Structure 1
Amino acid sequence: MDTETDCIQRHPGLPEACGLTAAEASAILAAGVGATGTHSNSDADVNDYVDDPRLPEWKNRCMRNWNACADGLFSGPCTDCLRRCEGQHVWPFNLCRPAKPKR
């Protein structure tokens, strides 16, 4: 296990203690899950973010939308939209909106 992952696990809910943002910590943990093969490959995993009860609702909503954006369900600059959501507590749908369905 690398140092960042170890730090994130020792300080759950406090990515700042590891010098990371919430999005960076989430990406590191998600990469670890993918590398270990503990993540199933079903279609139900598209919305794989599970709300953290320790976080306020707005933060969970930001993380859900960021995950959807990173999965290609939204179009726009995903990380920039997450940063704005963290500051304003509202997802900026004018910058990152649901992607148009492919034909």
Structure 2
Amino acid sequence: MTCCIKKFPADPVGACGATASDIEQALRMASQVDEDDFANNASLPEWKQWCIKFYVRCVDYGWNGKCDDCLRVCEGQQDWPTDMCFPPRKKR
């Protein structure tokens, strides 16, 4: 179910038959970063590791903003531009 929700974040109910609890669980999992996925980045400076992690979240979870542009800004400023790229707001 989580894979389907990731693939169709705009309409997980219609595309996947997801329930509210399925969506909540997928969002919870999305907020957790598996450090093993980034083990090959250990030699990079910490700020650059964070830029990469935020970029991956941005792309994988359909954040608002242009993820590629935000990565470039992050590399230049050494800080993720939260005003340009951010997670979608949770619906109530």
TM class by shorter-chain length?
Answer: 0.5 to 0.7
Aligned to 1:96: 85
What TM-score does the superposition give when structure 2 sets the normalisation length? 0.56
Query: Segments of 4+ in structure 1 off by > 3 A?
Result: 43-49
**How far apart in 1 are the matches of 2:43 and 2:50?**
13
Aligned to 1:54: 43
Q: Secondary structure at the match of 1:76?
A: coil
Task: Go from structure 1 to structure 2 and tell me whether the alpha carbon gap of 1:50 and 1:102 turns closer, same or farther (over 3 Å shift).
Answer: farther
Aligned to 2:71: 82
What RMSD over aligned residues (CA atoms) do the two structures have, in Å? 2.2
Aligned to 1:34: none
Percent identity (aligned): 41
**How far apart in 2 are the matches of 1:57 and 1:95?**
21
Letter of the aligned partner of 1:81 in structure 2? C
**How far apart in 2 are the matches of 1:102 and 1:83?**
29
More helix by share: 2
Letter of the aligned partner of 1:83 in structure 2? R
Q: Secondary structure at the match of 2:38?
A: coil
Higher relative contact order (CA 8 A, sep 6+): 2
Aligned to 1:72: 61
What TM-score does the superposition give when structure 1 sets the normalisation length? 0.50
The runs of 5 or more residues in structure 1 that have no matched partner are 1-42
